[in-house]
Amino acid sequence: MKRALLVEDLPQVAQHLQAMLAREQDVELAGVQTQADAAIAQATTEKPDIVMIDALLQGKTTGFDVAKRVRAASPGTRIVLVTVPQKPVEPKPELGIDAVFVLPGGANELGVALGIGKAAKVAAGTIVAVYSPKGGTGKTTLALNLACVLRRQGKAVALLDGVMQFGSIRHVLQVPPSARSFVDLPAAGAMKTSIGEVLWEGPGGVHILLSPARPEEADLVQAADIATAMKLLAESHDYVIVDTPSRLTEDTLAILDAASLVLLVVTYMSATVANARSAIDTFEALGYKGQKPILLVVNQADTAAGMSKGGLEHALNLPVVAEVPTDWKTVSESLNKQQPFVLASPTAPVSKALDQLATALVSQQRK
């Protein structure tokens, strides 16, 4: 059930939208606000799943201002601007407009705008396993920042720390140890109802499923449960990004199997390339060839080590979709601030490379 807050100052329009929302089975009304300030206050404290805002709100604060402030106060909330055909509005997630509902509009259009329409329901999200056979190549860094870029583009994004023992996402973001994790999820069938409750709201509104805080808890998690969680998250998110362990254990294989796409993180160092070659051979043996795309992302691509992009693509017979430069300063500053660099320094070349990676993934998914 999604909770929706309505921000509308015209009583007739409010009544009409309220009646439409009442007919949506998956939505309950969190309230109707006629004033911008009261609306922002309620969105800030209650963080509803959806806020619908009249783009033509009268008074000092416009509907667009309200959208921006709700986005800042509750990044995980889906914001829908309501307008009329004479005043067209474009969705602009970076300005807090995830979708637009044009009055009078029917139930189908409303469902799509709210992200609960039939179209939204059948289309399961894309599951991306960020994998590398070699440790320390940048899996965690790329997974987290990729999730944030996709979220900034208005996608619903979940990030799963698939490294059940000594996972690092909680440390990178300095999540308090009391935050709920994978071990707080009931197994198998009961998982569906409680998965929303254990998600940590990460930067920019990325929903994070953390791995356990203590190493001994890793044994409590079954590989099959990781796959189930990934699929459940894909039901309610456009993208599920999974930070994957390097060792090909049962967990790793379950993650790779459940993924719709594998992002293989490599560098131009010969040891990494050789290991990537072996991993790709394993993927072929597992029957992934032709079944799920495997895309290469080169991290620290400026450390050429004698290898070129073309040479690497030839050696591994796979496409390179992005080259990410080394940037110790931006990366370490972002770690100090516990803010992913794509949000802390969006114009840095390292962040631009992540934009390119996200674009490549989105176009791959369209194919």
Ligand X SMILES: Nc1ncnc2c1ncn2[C@@H]1O[C@H](COP(=O)(O)OP(=O)(O)OP(=O)(O)O)[C@@H](O)[C@H]1O
Binding site for ligand X (CB under 6 A): 132, 135-141, 168, 246, 299-300, 324, 326-328, 331, 335, 350
Asked, as a colleague might, if the bond just before 85 is cis with ω within 30 of 0, I would say no
Closer residue to Mg ion (CB): 40 or 142: 142
Closer residue to Mg ion (CB): 17 or 241: 241
Binding segment for Mg ion among 123-131, 165-173, 212-220, 339-347 (CB under 5 A)? 165-173
Closer residue to Mg ion (CB): 140 or 228: 140
**If binding means CB under 5 A, how many residues of this protein chain bind Mg ion?**
3
Nearest-10 crossing angle of helices 63-73, 36-46: 20
Min dist CB 290 to ligand X, Å, is: 27
Distance (Å) of CA 286 to CA 48, 206, 212, 240, 253: 43, 31, 28, 22, 9
Please list, residue by residue across 145-173, b when 16 or more beta carbons sit within 10 angstroms of its beta carbon and e when fewer do: bbbbbbbbbbbbbbbbbbbbbebbbbebb
Min dist CB 110 to ligand X, Å, is: 41
* Contact status: 246 vs Mg ion (CB under 5 A): no
From the CB of residue 174, how many other CB atoms can be counted at a distance below 10 Å?
8
Residue 126 contact, options Mg ion, ligand X, none, Cβ 5-8 Å cut-off depending on partner type: none
Closer residue to Mg ion (CB): 236 or 252: 252
Residue 299 contact, options Mg ion, ligand X, none, Cβ 5-8 Å cut-off depending on partner type: ligand X
Residue 326 contact, options Mg ion, ligand X, none, Cβ 5-8 Å cut-off depending on partner type: ligand X
* Cα 364 → chain centroid: 16
Closer residue to Mg ion (CB): 83 or 272: 272
d(CA 151, CA 354): 12
| CA nearest neighbour of 96 among 158, 50, 164 | 50
Residue 138 contact, options ligand X, Mg ion, none, Cβ 5-8 Å cut-off depending on partner type: ligand X
Closer residue to ligand X (CB): 113 or 142: 142
Looking at beta carbons, which residue is closest to Mg ion? 140
Q: Widest CA span of the chain, in angstroms?
A: 69
Min dist CB 138 to ligand X, Å, is: 4
Binding residues for Mg ion restricted to 105-164, rule: CB under 5 A:
139-140
Min dist CB 360 to ligand X, Å, is: 17
194 bridge partner residues: none
Coil/strand/helix, residue 114: helix
* Cα 179 → chain centroid: 19
Residue 246 contact, options Mg ion, ligand X, none, Cβ 5-8 Å cut-off depending on partner type: ligand X
Closer residue to ligand X (CB): 54 or 327: 327
From the CB of residue 223, how many other CB atoms can be counted at a distance below 10 Å?
17
Write out the residues near Mg ion by the rule CB under 5 A.
139-140, 168
